[in-house]
Amino acid sequence: MQKITIVSRESALAMWQAKHIQARLQALYPDYVVDILGMTTQGDQILDRTLSKIGGKGLFVKELETALADGRADLAVHSIKDVPMVLPEGFALAAIGERANPCDAFVSNRYAALADLPAGAVVGTSSLRREAQLRARFPQLDIRPLRGNVQTRLRKLDEEQYDAIILAAAGLERLELHERIRGLILPEESLPAAGQGALGIEIAAHRDDMRALLAPLNHAASADCVMAERALARALGGSCQVPLAAYAVVEDENLYLRGLVAYPDGSEVLTAEARAPRQYADALGRAVAKLLADDGAQEMIDEVLAAGAHD
């Protein structure tokens, strides 16, 4: 029998994602054996520092790409928001799955919503994007770093290290932790990260055989939205070292894309938006990036990166 090997991080959420794709592939190709190779990445191991200080979300991807390059695995499944905007040479995204909930989730044992938090309440998040938007709306809150997998973050909340934490809604829903979500934070309140809620399937670029096998897993509307969002982030040199958000939706045959760049302290937040036909997803992302850049986003990003380099 022919075999397909999926490489995945070993966290509960990553394994759920890998098993989801495994089930889809087994349904499509019953003559294949589809197995999963679990790995621990640097991003999973270094938990005492924020991602922006240790090299970014690429630390969750690097070891998996090595397994693709040396032939131990045929494909890697990622939360697409964790995939660097520019892939290393020799790798390609073969498919984007149908997007799940793109929103951030408010999680708290004591409070029903962000607006209910008293001054000085401690809120945990791993994301500069979330932190900047929170600080802009609620400057009275105490925003602190929060690392670890979903279960680790929930445990820290339950140990009362935080009054509330902000997580991606999709991750909680995939792990059947719906009851932990006190409320969704809508894009109008906190714009999501590029690709949030969507799964990306990565392959070695020369694997045309895998590209063909994975084609049925590509969800065209989600892929167009993610392409626009990633093009925006890429054009601005986006990484987790900069508070940057991008979120697109399909309206009839058009894409509506919103973008955001901010200082981490929330003191200044720039936004821009535009619409274009779906076939121009990449160009739309670059156009909204230019609107932001013309408004001063590039100087803001350069300043944030320079400050981070001196920390």
Q: Can you tell me the distance from the alpha carbon of 67 to that of 243, in angstroms, rounded to the nearest whole number?
A: 31
DSSP class of residue 70?
T
User: What is the C-alpha separation between 113 and 133, in angstroms, rounded?
Assistant: 15
**Do 242 and 297 touch, CB atoms closer than 8 A?**
no
- With CA atoms as reference, report the closest residue to 229 among 68, 36, 96: 96
DSSP of 216-253: GG--HHHHHHHHHHHHHHHHTT--TTS-EEEEEEEETT
Catalytic residue among 44, 48, 70, 82: 82
Is 311 among the residues known to form the active site?
no
Give Cα 304 to chain centroid, integer Å: 20
Q: Kindly state the tokens that stand for 166.
A: 């902000």
The residue assigned the tokens 């090595």 is 66
Please, are residues 265 and 291 in contact by the beta-carbon 8 Å criterion? no
- Could you give phi then psi for residue 250, rounded to 5 degrees? -90, 130
**Alpha helices in the chain, H assignment, sequence order:** 12-28, 42-45, 51-54, 62-69, 128-137, 150-158, 169-174, 208-214, 220-235, 281-294, 297-309
Give the Cα separation of 216 and 6 in Å (integer).
Answer: 16
- Give the CB-side neighbour count of residue 40, counting CA atoms within 13 A: 6
Rounded-to-integer distance, Cα 106 and Cα 190, Å = 11
Query: What's the CA dihedral at 50, 147, 198, 281 to 10 degrees?
Result: -20
Active site residues: 82
